[in-house]
Structure formats: C-alpha cells, structure tokens
Amino acid sequence: MLFILVLLTSFLSILYLTAPSIRKFFAGGVCTTNVQIPGKVVVITGANTGIGKETARELARRGARVYIACRDVLKGESAASEIRADTKNSQVLVRKLDLSDTKSIRAFAESFLAEEKKLHILINNAGVMMCPYSKTTDGFETHFGVNHLGHFLLTYLLLERLKESAPARVVNLSSIAHLIGKIRFHDLQGQKRYCSAFAYGHSKLANLLFTRELAKRLQGTGVTAYAVHPGVVLSEITRNSYLLCLLWRLFSPFFKSTSQGAQTSLHCALAEDLEPLSGKYFSDCKRMWVSSRARNKKTAERLWNVSCELLGIQWE
C-alpha cells in the first residue's frame, strides 16, 4: 500500500513538473493572419469574461468597434475598461443581453440596430455548462434555451444588418461535447429525462446543426458561418458544477489559457479566403471532423423549423 502511495505521489509530481511542456503541446493552433479591421463592427456575446473577453481584446487591438453583449453589465464595463486601456481603442462598448430571456434579446437587437448601421462579425460565444435542471424565462431548458435558441434568435434579428454589411461572418462556439449530443425532438426541454452533461452536449450539437443550415441558407448573400471548438480552456464556464470546478482546478496546469482558447474564434472571424468553408467546424484553427449526427441534413432542417416555432418567428 505504501509502495503504491509513493508511486502515485511520484507520478503526480512528475506530471506537474512537466505541466508547462504538456500545456504547450496541447495549446493548439494560433490565428496567424495579420489582417487589421479598422471601421469594422463586431458583436460578441458573453465577452465580459473568458474566451469572449480575449476575443474582444484582440479584435479591438486590430481596430474594430467591439460590442460586449452580456448579462452582467458591471462585469462587462470592467472588462471593456481593461480592454480599452490595453489596446488604446476607445470603441469597446457594453450592452445588456440576457440570452435566457427573449425580451432581453429583442431589446438588445432593437437598440443595436438603432445605434449601428453596420455589423461585420457576430460571435455567438456565450454559454452555460452542466447546470442543474432549470428553465429560461420563456420556459426552455436552460442549455437548449441559452446555448442554442438564444443565439438562434439573436442571429435572426441581426441578419439583415449582416447582409447589408457583407462580406460578414457569424461564428458559433460549439464543442467537442457535441459527440455525446442527440437532438431528442420528443423531449427538447428535458422534462422526461435530464442529465446536465448530456443536455450540454445536445445544445452543442444544436450549435453545429444551426451553423450548417445557416450557411446553406446564406449562400450567395456574402454572409458566411462557422462553428468552433475552442478546446479545454481554463474559464468560468464550469461555474454551475462543483465537480467540474474541482476538476478544472486540479488539472488547470494542463488546460488552455483563455487567450489560447480564443484563437480558433479569431481564425474564423479573420482568416482570409475562408468563405468556401462556410458551415464547417473548426478546432485549433483548422477544419475538424464532426459526428454523423452533426452532418444530418434532415435533422438540421427539422431543428431549424422547430426552433422557429418555439420562438414564434418566420425565417425562410
């Protein structure tokens, strides 16, 4: 028993001593384009923290007018102030957006459209992960409501402005967790059976299917769409699960930083000549394989139609 304990302790010690090298190995791709985007307008959801904040920082550094759309406005203002000081770009703005409330989404869109005549990049970055069973203001299961329906509605409301500003891009943050996802049309709200991990996977699969169908419907408009897996990142998305918070702390030396996690979002927002790959899934700044469920055309079309019905919109 003592021997096993000593062996385990030695293994963990070696593992943590080599953590910087391991982390560097798994850091993934880097957005290599040097393109500058002065005058371009960007909206990033959930950019008050984590990957979204680092994405906002880099786009502001490249000259964009960046809107941080988030639920916690005070935290958003703190992030914006930090980014403005860091990038010397005063055009970093904060607006209230609660993706769990369709009224808030519509209010944000109405205000933004009145304020801005252009929108070149929409990054649907915000999300929730492994929440205990709960519902949004409108009665949707939280993962499905926030991660999928909230961004579905936001994109719908801002789409005409994106078309008017073409070439324009939509970047949807998905996850490798889509591999465990399944669109259960008979139980989209998780009322019959619920597991927070699978609910998260379902919502991330929905993000991929939405991206695929959106890209198909946007052909010829000058607006393209991409889905992103940022990697395993040391961020606040685990805040709803005590177990994940513990695991994230324990293995934090091996995870990507938020800056590293933002690289693929930046690649899909900025890389030149990416238009032929509209609708595709990216990780570590390159195109990645997706599950057969994420490639199912009929499921994508049905999810699109059901989402429109749930939100009470007509999106041809």
Q: What is the pLDDT along the chain (316 residues), one digit of tens a residue?
A: 555 554 545 544 444 444 444 444 455 789 999 999 999 999 999 999 999 999 999 999 999 999 999 999 999 999 999 999 999 999 999 999 999 999 999 999 999 999 999 999 999 999 999 899 999 999 999 999 999 999 999 999 999 999 999 999 999 999 999 999 999 999 999 999 999 999 999 999 999 999 999 999 999 999 999 999 997 655 555 555 555 555 545 555 556 788 999 999 999 999 999 999 999 999 999 999 999 999 999 999 999 999 999 999 999 7
218: tokens are 């946007």
Instruction: Give me the residues paired with residue 233 across strands.
Output: 256
Burial of residue 220 (number of CB atoms within 10 Å: 0-12, 13-18, 19+):
exposed
**Stated pTM of the model:** 0.88
3-class state of residue 171 by DSSP:
strand
Rounded to an integer, what distance in angstroms lies between the CA atom of residue 12 and that of residue 250?
11
Instruction: Give me the residues paired with residue 225 across strands.
Output: 170
CA 225 vs CA 119, 194, 201, 209: distances in Å: 14, 30, 20, 11
Rounded to an integer, what distance in angstroms lies between the CA atom of residue 248 and that of residue 130?
14
CA 152 vs CA 60, 170, 172, 257, 286: distances in Å: 25, 11, 10, 28, 24
Rounded to 10 degrees, the C-alpha dihedral 94/73/264/240 comes to -170
Rounded to an integer, what distance in angstroms lies between the CA atom of residue 100 and that of residue 54?
23
273: tokens are 């000549």
71: tokens are 């639920």
Rounded to an integer, what distance in angstroms lies between the CA atom of residue 304 and that of residue 75?
33
Q: Exactly one of 156, 200, 226, 281 is catalytic; which is it?
A: 200
Helix axes 196-217, 297-311, angle to 10 degrees: 100
Rounded to an integer, what distance in angstroms lies between the CA atom of residue 151 and that of residue 211?
11
* Helix ranges, the chain (H): 2-17, 19-25, 50-61, 73-87, 102-115, 142, 151-164, 196-217, 242-250, 258-261, 263-270, 297-311
**Which DSSP string do the residues of 135-162 spell out, in sequence order?**
B-TTS-BHIIIIIIIIHHHHHHHHHHHH
Q: How far is CA 89 from the centre of its chain?
A: 24
Active site residue 200: yes
pLDDT of residue 247: 53
Query: What is the separation, in whole angstroms, between the first and last Cα of the chain?
Result: 66
For residue 294, give the nearest of 200, 196, 184, 204 by alpha carbon.
Answer: 204
- Residue found by looking up tokens 């030695």 in the block: 10
* Contact status, residue 178 vs residue 208, Cβ threshold 8 Å: yes
Residues in the chain: 316
142: tokens are 């939280």
CA 121 vs CA 7, 79, 163, 226: distances in Å: 52, 20, 11, 11
